[in-house]
Amino acid sequence: MRYMITGAGGFIGGAIAKDLVASGHEIVTFQRGQYPHLDALGGTHVVGDLSNLDLLAESMRGCDGVFHVAALAAISGDPAEFEKANIQGTQNIITACRREKIGRLVFTSSPSVVFSGEDQNGINESTPYPDSYLADYPRTKAIAEKLVLDNCDASLFTIAIRPHLVWGPGDRHLYPRIIDRAKNGKLKLVRRPGMKIDACYIENAVSAHVLAMTQIAHNVDCRGKAYFISNDEPIAPDDLINQFLECANLQRITPSISPLLAKIAGYLIEKVYCLPFFTSEPPVTRFVVHQQATSHWFDLDNAKRDLGWLPQVSTKEGMKKFRESLESEEERVTSS
């Protein structure tokens, strides 16, 4: 089979590309820059922007399906840029699929599309989109997800995968940000007993995407639907974060900030960073604080039933693999 992956220069997209090649598939990747690790995989690699509809259509010509992973995932920024990348970019993917008669589209979404600022305790996919959002990323991802699912019909089978807090070898966002803050003494955890979150090891996220691509070709029950994906192991946030710190040989930390204080700080910092003389990303926002102060774990029964998916790598095993990959990378850097 021949598949196109957008955003293959990123963590999830790159891992999907690697998995497909290992399984004997041909790949076409579409991303904003050139990446040596993609060139090493073989296949065709296109540098472009999602706003270029003609280039998108030309790139996916002859493909059997498209994995649309690319997105603007910053915690703040110009709303118009989020809309351009996440909404118009996704609409262009759909239009290009129809132009080139591509029959299958797997969209990488996020559990944040249904996040209202409250706890997500064992919720499933029946949870509705909220009336308002705390940030432009979840707002535009929700619109994009709805576009994808509403466009499911006899000529284009679509599905949305919602992996939560993806981590593991190759992570250049979640883990590095946690470690950087810890090293600089800026990592603070919200103190709220009983809170739980569930993250997703990269191999589990990839297998869900690949299974989704296969299942929408044969299983009518999963077409036009969204699915939560995680490790199915809810734990306390500080437990997960301290496991990351142990991977970096850093000292454990304990939650110390009250939810109310965190929310006030997030609101004030976000407002201050809206002033014209601030050009960098704020260290924290309302959205980030509400995410840190609430539970996030999900009922995965629908993915297990409709996709035949199960998380194959436990958090314990994933941490072992992650630590080994970090040690291997450190040895490579030291010896070079």
pLDDT at 116 over 70: yes
In a domain, 264, yes or no: no
* CB 234, CB 196: distance < 8 Å: yes
Q: In the predicted model, what is the mean pLDDT of residues 42-65?
A: 96
Higher pLDDT, 143 or 283: 143
For residue 260, the model assigns a pLDDT of: 72
Q: Band the pLDDT of 259: cuts 50, 70, 90.
A: confident
Domain count across the chain: 1
Cα atoms in the 13 Å half-sphere on the side-chain side of 225: 19
Tell me how far apart the alpha carbons of residues 188 and 137 are, in angstroms, rounded to a whole number.
Answer: 23
* CATH code assigned at 291: 3.40.50.720
* CB 294, CB 116: distance < 8 Å: no
For residue 192, the model assigns a pLDDT of: 83
Known catalytic membership, residue 227: no
In a domain, 164, yes or no: yes
For residue 279, the model assigns a pLDDT of: 60
Q: Which amino acid is at 216?
A: I
Question: Which of 142-156, 292-306, 322-336 is predicted least confidently?
Answer: 322-336
Alpha helices in 248-285 (DSSP H): 259-272
In a domain, 272, yes or no: no
In a domain, 276, yes or no: no
Q: In the predicted model, what is the mean pLDDT of residues 191-217?
A: 95
For residue 270, the model assigns a pLDDT of: 65
Cα→Cα distances 127→112, 141, 151, Å: 11, 16, 20
Tell me how far apart the alpha carbons of residues 103 and 155 are, in angstroms, rounded to a whole number.
Answer: 6
In a domain, 43, yes or no: yes
Q: What is the pLDDT of the chain when averaged over all its residues? A: 92
Encoded tokens for 315? 């958090």
Tell me how far apart the alpha carbons of residues 204 and 285 are, in angstroms, rounded to a whole number.
Answer: 29
DSSP secondary structure letters along 97-123: HHHTT--EEEEE--GGGG--SS-EEEE
Show the domain range for 131.
2-251+282-328
pLDDT at 302 over 60: yes
In a domain, 61, yes or no: yes
pTM metric for this prediction: 0.93
Higher pLDDT, 262 or 287: 287
In a domain, 266, yes or no: no
Encoded tokens for 291? 């995410």
Q: In the predicted model, what is the mean pLDDT of residues 186-207?
A: 92
Q: Of the listed 3, 35, 133, 137, which one is catalytic? A: 137
Cα→Cα distances 269→12, 54, 129, 230, 281, Å: 30, 41, 26, 31, 11
Over residues 138-158, the pLDDT tens digits come to 999 999 999 999 999 999 999
Encoded tokens for 273? 């960073």
Tell me how far apart the alpha carbons of residues 64 and 3 are, in angstroms, rounded to a whole number.
Answer: 6
pLDDT at 20 over 90: yes
Question: Which of 101-115, 193-207, 241-255, 311-325 is predicted least confidently?
Answer: 241-255
